[in-house]
Structure 1
Amino acid sequence: MSYAIIGFGKIGQALARAFARSGIEVSVATTRDPASFASHTAAIGPTIIPKTLAEAVKADIIFLAVRFESHPEVAKTLPNWKGKIIIDAMNTQAPLEQLDGLPSSAVVAKAFTGADLVKGFNHLAAAVLDQDPSVHGGRRVVFLASDDDRAAAETGALAEQLGFAPIKLGGLSEGGLLVHARGNSWGQLIFKDLIKFDR
């Protein structure tokens, strides 16, 4: 299984550090030339590989960590995303009315034709996501929502490898709304920093 992170802002870098802590190789791409951020990836660790967008989208599992407004541009990189899992780690302040009443993840799913989309890793602020997920003898929770059980299971397995405790919230229309940051009305689980203890 191969992995990529599209976007190298605060969330993208926090995700890259999670991969580095676990010694898992991940490609990182932005719309810029990889040479422009290669020194940053090298500082995080040897398993963080700067690539072009066209190279990075060859990965099996791809984190979207760009600004929400930029995702349609990323979606144009491939004509079809069949067989790929897209993890939507983005948030938007757009009210639901601007999104046709849909959770933002459902809007993203439409853009990435053929992909299996998982909403995940977005409910934690970048500074929290950046920390070691082992806390007080437990593991930091990441919420996952998807209409595809296989994609949710694969993403959950990756979250475990990265040291997190994945909790599945169901489909995008239910679970996606719980972790949707929108206008003045926020999902109940957005920015909740929870720890799971295995007993």
Structure 2
Amino acid sequence: MSYAIIGFGKIGHALAKAFARKGIEVSVATTRNPASFTSDAAAIGPEIIPTTLGEAVKADIIFLAVRFESHPEVARALPNWKGKTIVDAMNTQAPLEELDGLPSSAVVAKAFTGARLVKGFNHLVAAVLDQDPAVHGGRRVVFLASDDESAAAEIGALAEKLGFAPINLGGLSEGGLLVHARGDRWGRLIFKDLVKFD
């Protein structure tokens, strides 16, 4: 299984650190030349591989950590995303009319034709996501939502591997609304920093 993070801002850095902590290799890409962030990647660890967008989209599981308005540009990198699992870690304050009244991830799913989409890792602020998820004798919770149960299970297993405690909220139009940004309204679980004790 291969992994990539597209976007290398605060959330992208935090996700990269999660992979590095567990010694799991992950490609990182932006729309810029990878030489511009090679030193940032190296500072996190040898598991973080700077690459081009064209190379990053070859991964099996791809985390979207770009600005929401940039996702259509990323989506154009492939004509069809069949066989890929996209983890939407973005949030947006775009007006509801721009989203056709849909949850933001439903808009993203339409752009990434053929992909299996999971909303996840978006409810924690970057400064919290950046930290080791093993806290207070428990594991930091990440919420997941998807209309594809097998994709949600796959990302849940990855979240466990990264040290988090995944909680599946169900479909995008149901439990997913709890962690979606819609216009100036935020889902009720956005920015909740919860810990699960086993």
TM-score by length of 1: 0.98
Tell me by how many angstroms 1:150 deviates.
1.1
Partner of 2:175: 175
Mapped to 1, the partners of 2:22 and 2:42 lie a distance apart of 16
Amino acid corresponding to residue 72 of structure 1 in structure 2: P
SS at match of 1:119: strand
- Please name the residue that 2:20 is paired with: 20
2:24 corresponds to which letter in structure 1? I
User: How big is the shift at 1:77?
Assistant: 0.1
Count of matched residue positions in the alignment of Structure 1 and Structure 2? 198
Distance across 2 between alignment mates of 1:109 and 1:175 = 16
User: Could you say what secondary structure the match of 1:37 adopts?
Assistant: helix
Deviation at 1:136, TM superposition (A): 0.5
| 2:123 corresponds to | 123
Q: 1:181: Cα distance to partner? A: 2.0
Q: Secondary structure at the match of 1:128?
A: helix
Distance in 1 (alpha carbons) for counterparts of 2:79 and 2:183: 32
Report which stretch shifted further, 18-27 or 182-191: 182-191
Asked whether 1:186 is paired with 2:186, we answer yes
| Aligned-partner Cα distance in 2 for 1:176–1:95 | 18
Q: How does 1:40-189 map to 2 (within 5 A)?
A: 40-189=40-189
Distance 1:79 1:184 in 2: 32
Task: Report the Cα offset of residue 92 of structure 1.
Answer: 0.1
Paired AA for residue 114 in structure 2: G
Which position in structure 2 is the counterpart of 1:3? 3
Report the AA paired with residue 188 of structure 1: R
User: Which string of whole-angstrom CA distances, capped at 9 and with x for unpartnered residues, describes residues 76-101 of structure 1?
Assistant: 00000001000000000123232111
Q: In 2, distance between residues paired with 1:184 and 1:47?
A: 37
The 3-state SS of whatever aligns with 1:12 is helix
Cα distance in 1, alignment partners of residues 154 and 125 from structure 2:
23
Structure 2 residues not aligned, in runs of 5+: none
Residues 141 and 167 in structure 2, CA contact (< 8 A), matched pair in contact too: yes
The amino acid across from 2:38 in the alignment is A
3-state DSSP class of the match of 1:59? coil
- TM-score where L is the length of structure 2: 0.98
Per-residue Cα deviation, 1:162-188 (whole angstroms, up to 9, x for no partner): 100000000011122110123332211
Q: State the secondary structure of the residue aligned to 2:94.
A: coil
Structure 1 vs Structure 2 CA RMSD: 0.8
Q: Deviations over 1:137-179 (max 9, x none)?
A: 1000000000111110110011001100000000011122110
Q: Percent identity at matched positions? A: 86
Report if the CA contact (8 A) 2:94-2:184 is conserved: no
Report SS of the residue matched to 2:83. Answer: coil
Q: Secondary structure at the match of 1:131?
A: coil
